[in-house]
Structure 1
Amino acid sequence: MIIGITGQIATGKSSLAQAFFENGFKVFDADKTYNHLLSSDTMMREEILFIFGTLDRKLLLNNVLANTELLTKLNSITHKYVITQMHKFLKENMNNNIVLDVPIPVRKGFLDLTDIKIVTCTNQDNQINRLKNRYGVNEAQAKKRIEMQMKMIDYINIGDIILNTDNTDNEDLIKFVKIFKNTYMKGN
């Protein structure tokens, strides 16, 4: 079974993916893969450098936060490399239960590959607080990062399961995974 986890920034995707990992699932983390490729994949780095003139993560972030067209350009460069790595991961783990932790649910290379899509969501105050704690940003910067994402309703519309993470902790997520397995994976 291939489970897709998606949702806006700071909604609990990685925490949920970790709970699945702790229950024996193989997890592909698109964000971690992107960060690894940004430091190691020569072709991707050259494409980014050609368009943006830098590989510095903070400068790239500042550029895309200031201009949505630049975000689209960056995504068009990086997605193909991340999707290639994801296909490699899927091939290597085809006999396992798999979780794809992907922040941008593209039709080809995510939506078409997953058996069940779980969308994580939380209220915007939680998102802002999580972003402030994680990245040391102020409220305006946190809101800007959220605004650059797909709208929450668009995530919800593609989800088979919507998981509200407003008041969840790791123990709650482990329980969710156990319930998920009992409900959707009898015999696995």
Structure 2
Amino acid sequence: MAFDGPGRGSVGAGTRFGAMRVGLTGGIASGKSTVAETLVGLGAVVVDSDKIAREVVAAGTPGLASVVEEFGPSVLTEAGELDRAKVGEIVFADEGARGRLNQIVHPLVGARSAELEEAGRASGALVVNDIPLLVEVGYAPFFDEVIVVDVPVETQVERAIARGMSESEVRSRIKAQAGREERLAAATYVIDNTGTVDDLRSRVKEIYDALTLAASGS
């Protein structure tokens, strides 16, 4: 892959969190979005790679043109936008196709992430890179701290089905992601999301405070 790690932007002197790089990851339906939302409420800037991934293949972008060139016009909706469900069917069932898509999208996401990360640092905020496939694509070594949101596989399945996904679709996506053990091995902070939302938010606050303390050098 041509992209040498996510968000490798320069950092201005005197920022509150210095050069600290924090990654956030978790499997499908783990509760990662709630963690990201809580971090924002505490004052962090969250660079959402999923959101950026949608932006870089929006209608009319060079990214979308590259995806169509690789996979054909069948991946477009009638309105000329990317049919994300169609692409999902292709790439989650074919590792090679998933790799080709990543080669198109990841460099674009990385460049935009770097811009947003640098802007966040300049504001003095803790910047957290929300990357669902952080472990899968080998990005963990690029971060000083890795926050992993963890739940059992069957909990992921139950929650995703409750959101409207089919069981086969959920299990296909889980299979395409890193296993729990692999993800946990990359973690410096683990958030067990098998409790209540209040439990989750309390744990996020603990981690945010710990990162703030570490950044202060105390």
- TM-score exceeds 0.5: yes
For residues 40 and 99 of structure 1, do their structure 2 counterparts lie closer, same or farther at Cα, with a shift above 3 Å needed? farther
SS of corresponding position for 2:92: helix
**CA RMSD across the alignment:** 1.8
Q: What are the residue-to-residue correspondences of 1:27-66 with 2, within 5 Å? A: 27-40=46-59, 42-53=61-72, 54=75, 55-66=82-93
How many Å separate the matches in 2 of 1:97 and 1:156? 22
Gaps of 5+ in 1: none
SS of corresponding position for 1:185: helix
Q: What are the residue-to-residue correspondences of 1:1-188 with 2, within 5 Å? A: 1-40=20-59, 42-53=61-72, 54=75, 55-94=82-121, 95-105=124-134, 106-107=137-138, 110-134=139-163, 136-169=164-197, 171-186=198-213
How many Å separate the matches in 1 of 2:162 and 2:111? 32
**How far apart are 1:148 and its partner, in Å?**
1.0
For residues 78 and 119 of structure 1, do their structure 2 counterparts lie closer, same or farther at Cα, with a shift above 3 Å needed? same
Residues 45-102 of structure 1: CA deviation (Å, up to 9, x unaligned): 1110011112311110111122111111111111111111110011111132111110
CA contact (8 A) 1:23 1:177 kept: no
Aligned pairs, how many? 184
CA contact (8 A) 1:11 1:120 kept: yes
Instruction: Indicate the structure with greater helix content.
Output: 1
Amino acid at match of 1:179: E
**How far apart are 1:180 and its partner, in Å?**
1.8
Give the TM-score taking structure 1 as reference length: 0.89
How many Å separate the matches in 1 of 2:160 and 2:41? 24
**How far apart are 1:33 and its partner, in Å?**
1.2
SS of corresponding position for 2:27: coil
Amino acid at match of 1:57: R
SS of corresponding position for 2:148: strand
For residues 41 and 103 of structure 1, do their structure 2 counterparts lie closer, same or farther at Cα, with a shift above 3 Å needed? farther
Gaps of 5+ in 2: 1-19, 76-81
Over alpha carbons, which structure has the higher Rg?
2
